[in-house]
Amino acid sequence: MIAMLVRRIIQAVLVMLVVAFISFSLFQFVGDPINNMVGQEATQQDRAELRERLGLNDPIPVQFMRFVGNAVQGEFGISYRMARPVSEVIAERLPATLELALVSGVLAITLGIVLGVYTALRRDGWFSHFIMSSSLIGVSLPTFLIGILLIYIFSVELQWLPSFGRGDTVPITDNWSTGLLTVSGWQSLILPAITLGLFQLTLLMRLVRAEMLEVLRTDYIKFARARGIRQRSINFHHALKNTLLPVITIAGLQLGSIIAFAIITETVFQWPGVGLLFINAIRFVDIPFMSAYLLLIALVFVVINLVVDLLYFVVDPRLRVTKSSSSR
């Protein structure tokens, strides 16, 4: 297991270096950062002095190593649009995105597994057919359209839930505030969480259903029935355990996708997270923030993939047997 963990960490470092080079390339090929930092009245001498002070005249490898060193320390420069350190801006907005992703992920994984198992065990029931037909909405409709429909129904017509914002928040630390401790925070979170998690919910539900049906047809399940084991024990101990093995990988990737693609949901609901800031950064060509966001999302995917690999090793005993036999 240690050797596998070391290999995965080395692969993760290589991936992050590639993403760091892409982020670094934004500074080189997407406009001139000097033009974004000085005014129209700046002379050529002022521009040259600023370029020298920022190290932009150094060779590209030196600049890249400096960029990686600063990124490791959490320093991504000054935002062109807000004239503040990018790390401070991300620290202020990241809690909102993480809360939205957490609630959406829990909703998608929990309901996806429960509904997937139910539709597999009761595949001929009318309610299972209704669930499978309704799941086409989450698969076929784009996220922004689902958000607009939910706003129209629950905010405009019924006026049950707010259509934008995060609601009241409670400060926990200097840079961390949460809306999970207030009623208005939960009310503001319901529609964005459903919008963001609906696609992942339907995807996981269909995957769990398909895997569950396949496992129930295997020989060891038939042998368990022949031994007289209770059907509930067969379904939830033997079948479900083996069903969740491939689901772990998909659930991990979908959790990363929830964080990465919260941009659309945050834009529709004006949710004050890093995704909304990224849209504004593209609009104003805020390269430091764009590069920091790219590195942040890459780090999320790398960490999630590493955790999924470790969970696979823990959950699936066949991998441990294979590793131990190969080491001999």
Residue 297 predicted with pLDDT over 80 = yes
What is the rounded average pLDDT for all residues in the chain? 81
Split at pLDDT 50, 70, 90, the class of 321 is: low
Residue 32 predicted with pLDDT over 70 = no
pLDDT tens for 46-58 read: 777 777 776 767 7
Q: Looking at this protein, which amino acid is placed at residue 244?
A: L
Domains of the chain, residue spans: 2-72, 94-283
Task: Find the mean pLDDT for residues 116-124.
Answer: 86
Split at pLDDT 50, 70, 90, the class of 263 is: confident
Task: Find the mean pLDDT for residues 138-160.
Answer: 87
- The pLDDT, as a whole number, for residue 151 is 92
CATH class of 94-283: mainly alpha
239, 232 contact by CB (below 8 A): no
pLDDT tens for 10-20 read: 888 888 888 88
Task: Find the mean pLDDT for residues 122-143.
Answer: 84
Task: Find the mean pLDDT for residues 153-165.
Answer: 88
Split at pLDDT 50, 70, 90, the class of 163 is: confident
DSSP string, 148-213: HHHIIIIIIIS--S-SSS----EESSSS-EESTTSHHHHHHHHHHHHHHHHHHHHHHHHHHHHHHH
Paired residues of 171 in beta bridges: 177
Split at pLDDT 50, 70, 90, the class of 68 is: confident
Split at pLDDT 50, 70, 90, the class of 121 is: confident
Dihedral (Cα; 111, 124, 209, 219), 10-degree rounding = 140
Other Cβ atoms within 10 Å of 205 Cβ, number: 26
Q: What percent of the chain lies above the pLDDT cut of 90?
A: 3
Please give the C-alpha separations between residue 40 and each of 34, 144, 172, in angstroms, as whole numbers: 11, 39, 42
The whole model's pTM is what?
Answer: 0.79
- The pLDDT, as a whole number, for residue 192 is 92
Residue 324 predicted with pLDDT over 60 = no
Rounded CA separation 101/30 (Å): 30
Other Cβ atoms within 10 Å of 109 Cβ, number: 19
Q: Does 323 or 252 have the greater pLDDT score?
A: 252
DSSP state for residue 303 in the 8-state scheme: H
- The pLDDT, as a whole number, for residue 234 is 79
pLDDT tens for 197-248 read: 888 888 888 888 888 888 888 888 888 888 888 888 878 777 877 777 778 7
131, 115 contact by CB (below 8 A): yes
- The pLDDT, as a whole number, for residue 33 is 65
